Structure 1
């Protein structure tokens, strides 16, 4: 059994934990870095996640583990947190620099523009919830685009990272999480 940590600072922690457990993973809720086989950075508010990682002195511990190849799944704010460049950061906000990509926060509108729709991904059709979702503006070497919405990039993957603009954990669609658990199992 693989042990996957869910960063439990803010955001959709419980929903990710429940989905991972349903896929046979052991789950650890993390506020400080711990020995895990993979990590999920949930949606929420990316600038708050960044600020809390700094306040708790954990930013570098998580960043170093991820740069060393610890498998990671980032959804919505998690995608922003993994980026090397944020086009419109909150004051002082930085990504962890794990996925070479440039992202824009809140690209699909305000909270009132939230929507659930089915989109095609490299792993099949996914029911995706968009809540103030970011978009990926450009990707660097080693980054594969795995999902688009209206021609805009909403999902990417590297050897160790998977990141999507949407919230599959809110719709009950396990496609993205199953792919992530598979990545973790292959590595271990």
Structure 2
């Protein structure tokens, strides 16, 4: 049973770093579980959508009868965090994707799929993250980008949390928040830095 201090957060277990996200959420103070069925989705206080291949993920959501229930819960205010392909799935507009790909319309942003993979390859960098690294004594965040998207444009309601600081992709938006929905282009679950997951767990606590 979830509590205010330890909300139950599900990780969509279709592709990607499911175990890593489960571990990161647990270390950040949440209870964590996998979600593959509509009945499991109804129990959670928040949801994480990991990386993977976004068009395949959208198909699997349909096969498992999860697409519409997830979209409905997001529209009703379920807190969500998407990393890499998860950002793509949460977006309202996707560039460079297949015509049959579906998305969840939880973030009013336009993302370019595989932007880093095609243009500057996978890479790592240190970046500043609003609400995390701007706290007293905080250090920059190490971000790992693997064939990642970036955000081309945002609606006025969307807050930019992080941009690439330098290099060929300097200034590109790589972390955003809109209400109870958070997304990053990069993979914080693989670095051992739990601050993004802690930020999301706090979002879920506040929402509850």
What TM-score do the two structures reach when normalised by structure 1?
A: 0.96
SS at match of 2:128: strand
Structure 1 runs, 4 residues or longer, greater than 4 Å off: none
In structure 2, what is the Cα distance between the partners aligned to 1:179 and 1:46?
A: 24
> How far off is 1:113 after superposition?
2.5
> How far off is 1:94 after superposition?
2.1
2:5 counterpart of 1:6? no
Gaps of 5+ in 1: none
1:158 alignment partner in structure 2: 178
Q: Aligned to 1:85, which of 83, 93, 109?
A: 93
8 Å contact from structure 1 (residues 83, 99) kept in 2: yes
What TM-score do the two structures reach when normalised by structure 2?
A: 0.87
8 Å contact from structure 2 (residues 95, 110) kept in 1: yes
In structure 1, what is the Cα distance between the partners aligned to 2:187 and 2:153?
A: 21
Matches within 5 A, 1:120-135: 120-122=128-130, 123-124=132-133, 125-135=140-150
> How far off is 1:91 after superposition?
3.6
> How far off is 1:7 after superposition?
0.2
8 Å contact from structure 1 (residues 86, 94) kept in 2: no
Higher strand share: 1
Gaps of 5+ in 2: 1-5, 134-139, 165-169
| Count of residues paired in the alignment | 188
User: Which structure's CA Rg is the greater one?
Assistant: 2
